[in-house]
């Protein structure tokens, strides 16, 4: 009896029966499951966004000699760095002040000060850009005071700019951290630099929380074609696309600090990432000389037109013939290729500014952005996208999902199928389960090469998107069609 009892108490290792696995496999593709999935209140599964400090670090890399500095636990810094390493396949030199348990008790001031000293000595930055991860945010470190004290103590050389931003990870996403850090950098660098009557004659351009180096280069190329001098604020294009020539440059690029400082006297300032720069741009409007314009990413013909015309208007210069010709070539590519994408349904997800870009492009091509998902969205974003949908025949039946994640997206694409997805690498599991291609236009891209080198903005960006999308659709046709439909021409 006691033997039986003890035997009963033993729990054996079980194997889930194959038919049970098969059942659940089918079930997670069902409408019923989708409903349960969408009923989630607390659990987030496969979100499509990182946390604030990541965006802060990214933009901190976009200034000359700027050393990104995480005030917080060192593990955070490693995560941000490796995310940027993987996306760009480039170095992302940044430090942290390695706060540990004692920080919870004493605060992080000692770590911060010691770290500043070491970082200055070892890495000789021209600027140290500080942002916070969770720990100091939760315990309430007073960064303003800490940094003031650091200066007084001489932890940083006289005159070394030390912008800092609170970038709590439990609020917003990397996009908001970008905004906060950029704002602080600009406030720090421009402080006292506004000169009555001075005008640099330049355009200040802010790309938004954009991880595509090709886009930055494309903006510069466009401005060069106009012959308009330009300061790209937070210019990561050289930082994250530096030459491999035998020399490692720790600070490979970035906006010159002098130019950034003088940007306050600019002739005009444009942001092309309104959702990523709401704070920064609000401050700029109140403080920068010259004119200001906030515009969506110039993706697709109409938004690129608007961007160029705005520049033309601000600088009293016509759009150069070379860009007009490029426009014509982009339209040519669109008319030539429309039949490969027209009417195709897409599921798109990503950061707000990217998302608007995808929707815009697809509608211009006559494709349907059928499932539109943002894991960190807003009513404003939803309204703006809905307006785009409403203005197009191809926006009919397309639906927006705000603050949903990629596990929701999976339910969408398996129950209400589409032809392809657009987003970042994290969507690849949903795309595989749905048996459709994923076009990696977002951030991060961990599993393809060079894609961040191809601009998606401007007229050239349109050609790139068409090339990637339409040729992939043709690839699929060629690879999957019966022999009798395998043809020379497509």
Partner 1 sequence: MSETPKKIEGITKESTQAMIDTALAAYPEKGRKKRAPHLAPNDPEGSSSCVKSNRKTVPGVMSARGCAYAGAKGVVWGPIRDMVHVSHGPVGCGWYSWGTRRNLMSGTNGVDQFGMQFTSDFQEKDIVYGGDKKLRTLLEEAHELFPLAKGISVLSECPVGLIGDDINSVAKVASKELDIPIIPCNCEGFRGVSQSLGHHISNDTIRDHIIGTREFAEPASPYDISLIGDYNIGGDVWSAKSLLEEIGLNVKSVWTGDGELEKIAATHTVKLNLIHCYRSMNYMCKVMEEKYGIPWLEFNFFGPTKIKESLRAIGARFDQTIQDKVEVAIAKYEPIMQAIIDEYKPRLEGKKVMLLVGGLRPRHTIGAYEDLGMECVGSGYEFAHNDDYERTMPEMPEATVIYDDPSEFEFEQFVHKLKPDLIGSGIKEKYVFQKMGIPFRQMHSWDYSGPYHGYQGFEVFARDIDMALNSPTWKLVKSPF
Given the complex with partner 1, which of 53 and 163 has the nearer CB atom? Answer: 53
The residue among 176 and 217 lying less far from a copy of itself, judged by its C-beta, is 217
The CA distance from 18 to 12, in Å, is 18
**Residue 81 contacts which entry, partner 1, a copy of itself, none (Cβ below 5-8 A, type-dependent):** partner 1
Rg (CA), the chain: 25
Which CB sits closer to a copy of itself, 27 or 248?
Answer: 248
Residue selected from 311, 454, 457, 458 as contacting a copy of itself according to rule CB under 8 A: 454
The reply on whether position 470 binds a copy of itself by CB under 8 A is: yes
Spatial distance between the Cα atoms of 62 and 241, rounded to a whole number of angstroms: 12
- In angstroms, what is the minimal distance from the CB of 62 to a copy of itself? 17
Q: Which of 2, 4, 6, 14 binds partner 1 (CB under 8 A)?
A: 14
Whole-angstrom Cα distance, residue 210 to residue 219? 12
Residue 447 near a copy of itself by CB under 8 A: yes
Residues in the chain: 490
Two tokens, residue 127: 């600027």
Q: How far apart are CA 427 and CA 423, in angstroms?
A: 7
**Residue ranges in 259-278 that form contacts with partner 1 under rule CB under 8 A:** none
CB crowding 105-127: b at 16 or more within 10 Å, else e: eebbbebbbebbeebbeeeebeb
Q: Does 204 bind a copy of itself (CB under 8 A)?
A: no
User: For residues 406 and 332, is the Cβ–Cβ distance under 8 A?
Assistant: no
Catalytic residue among 134, 155, 199, 348: 134
Name which position in 248, 282, 380, 399 contacts partner 1 (CB under 8 A). 248
Nearer to partner 1, 178 or 288 (CB): 178
448 binds partner 1, rule: CB under 8 A = no
Residue at token pair 């706060």: 99
Q: How many residues contact a copy of itself, by CB under 8 A?
A: 49
Distance from C-alpha of 456 to C-alpha of 358, rounded to nearest angstrom: 10
The total of other beta-carbon atoms located within 10 Å of residue 13's CB is: 4
CB nearer to a copy of itself: give 121 or 449: 449
CA triplet 433, 366, 477: central angle to 5 degrees? 45
Q: How far is the CB of 402 from a copy of itself (least distance, A)?
A: 25
Other CB atoms within 10 Å distance of the CB of residue 394: 21
Q: Does 329 bind a copy of itself (CB under 8 A)?
A: yes
- Region binding partner 1 by CB under 8 A among candidate stretches 268-276, 283-291, 363-371, 449-457: 363-371
Handedness of CA 283, 285, 288, 294 (dihedral sign): positive
| Active-site residue, 134 included | yes
Between 8 and 489, name the residue whose CB sits nearer to a copy of itself: 489
Within 69-108, which residues bind a copy of itself (CB under 8 A)? 86, 89-90
Q: Which of 24, 325, 387, 391 binds a copy of itself (CB under 8 A)?
A: 325
Bin 205: left if φ > 0, else alpha if -120 < ψ < 50, else beta. Answer: beta
Residue 225 contacts partner 1 per CB under 8 A: no
Q: Both tokens of residue 300?
A: 């697709």
Name the catalytic one among 120, 138, 319, 331: 138
Report residue 245 as tokens: 């020539």
**Interface positions, 87-106, toward partner 1 (CB under 8 A):** 89-101, 103-104
Tell whether residue 476 is a contact of partner 1 (CB under 8 A): no
DSSP-derived secondary structure letter, 11: P
Q: Binds 451, which of partner 1, a copy of itself, none (CB < 5 to 8 A, cut-off by type)? A: a copy of itself
- In the complex with partner 1, the residue whose CB is nearer, 18 or 192, is 18
312 near partner 1, judged by CB under 8 A: yes
Interface of this chain with a copy of itself, residues 230 to 249, rule: CB under 8 A: 241-245
Q: Cα(175)–Cα(47) distance, rounded to whole angstroms?
A: 14
Collapsing DSSP states into helix, strand and coil, what is residue 37?
helix
How far CA 149 is from CA of 104, 160, 187, in Å, comes to: 20, 14, 19
Q: Which of 58, 59, 60, 80 is the binder for partner 1 (CB under 8 A)?
A: 80
Calpha distance 198→266 (Å, rounded): 8
Nearest 5°: the CA angle 121, 123, 126 is 95
Burial of 477 by CB count in 10 Å (0-12 exposed, 13-18 middle, 19+ buried)? Answer: middle
**Which residue, 260 or 268, is less far from partner 1 as judged by CB?**
268
Q: Which residues ranging from 169 to 188 are in contact with partner 1 (CB under 8 A)?
A: 169-171, 173
Structure tokens at 33: 């499951």
Strand partners, 423: 440
Known catalytic membership, residue 138: yes
**Which of 35, 332, 390, 397 is in the footprint of a copy of itself by CB under 8 A?**
332
| Shortest Å distance, C-beta 307 to a copy of itself | 18
- Known catalytic residues? 134, 138
Binding site for a copy of itself (CB under 8 A): 86, 89-90, 241-245, 324-329, 331-337, 340, 425-426, 428-429, 432, 437, 446-451, 453-454, 463, 466-467, 470-471, 474-475, 478, 486-490
């Amino acid at each position: 009896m006691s033997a039986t009892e003890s035997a009963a108490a033993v729990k054996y290792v079980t194997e889930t029966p194959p038919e049970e696995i098969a059942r659940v496999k089918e079930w997670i593709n069902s409408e019923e499951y989708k409903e349960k999935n969408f009923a989630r209140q607390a659990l987030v599964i496969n979100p499509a966004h990182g946390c604030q400090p990541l965006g802060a670090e990214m933009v901190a890399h976009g200034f000359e000699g700027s050393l990104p500095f995480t005030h917080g636990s060192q593990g955070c810094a490693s995560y941000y760095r490796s995310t940027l390493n993987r996306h760009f396949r480039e170095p992302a030199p940044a430090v942290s002040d390695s706060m540990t348990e004692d920080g919870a008790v004493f605060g992080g001031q000692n770590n911060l000060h010691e770290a500043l000293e070491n970082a200055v000595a070892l890495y000789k930055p021209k600027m140290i850009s500080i942002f916070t991860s969770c720990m100091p945010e939760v315990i309430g470190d007073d960064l303003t005071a800490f940094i003031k004290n650091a200066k007084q103590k001489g932890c940083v050389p006289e005159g070394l700019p030390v912008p800092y931003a609170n970038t709590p990870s439990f609020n917003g996403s990397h996009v908001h951290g970008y905004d906060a850090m950029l704002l602080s950098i600009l406030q720090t660098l421009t402080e006292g630099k506004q000169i009555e009557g001075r005008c640099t004659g330049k355009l200040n351009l802010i790309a938004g929380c954009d991880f595509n180096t090709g886009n930055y280069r494309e903006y510069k190329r466009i401005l060069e074609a106009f012959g308009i001098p330009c300061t790209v604020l937070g210019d990561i294009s050289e930082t994250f696309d530096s030459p491999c020539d035998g020399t490692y440059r720790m600070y490979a690029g970035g906006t010159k600090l002098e130019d950034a400082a003088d940007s306050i006297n600019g002739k005009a300032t444009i942001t092309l990432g309104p959702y990523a720069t709401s704070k920064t741009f609000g401050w700029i409007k109140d403080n920068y000389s010259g004119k200001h314009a906030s515009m969506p990413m110039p993706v697709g013909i109409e938004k690129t037109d608007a961007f160029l015309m705005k520049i033309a208007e601000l600088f009293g210069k016509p759009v150069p013939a070379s860009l007009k010709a490029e426009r014509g070539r982009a339209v040519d590519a669109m008319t030539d290729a429309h039949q490969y994408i027209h009417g195709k349904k897409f599921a798109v997800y990503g950061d707000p500014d990217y998302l608007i870009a995808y929707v815009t492009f697809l509608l211009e091509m006559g494709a349907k952005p059928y499932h539109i998902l943002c894991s960190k969205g807003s009513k404003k974003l939803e309204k703006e996208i809905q307006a785009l949908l409403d203005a197009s025949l191809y926006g009919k039946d397309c639906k927006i999902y705000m603050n949903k994640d990629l596990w929701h997206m999976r339910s969408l694409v398996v129950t209400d199928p589409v032809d392809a997805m657009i987003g970042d690498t994290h969507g690849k599991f949903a795309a595989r389960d749905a048996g459709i291609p994923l076009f990696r236009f977002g951030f991060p891209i961990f599993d393809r090469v060079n894609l961040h080198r191809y601009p998606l903005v401007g007229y050239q960006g349109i050609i790139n998107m068409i090339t990637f999308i339409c040729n992939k659709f043709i690839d699929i046709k060629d690879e999957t069609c019966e022999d009798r439909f395998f043809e020379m021409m497509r």
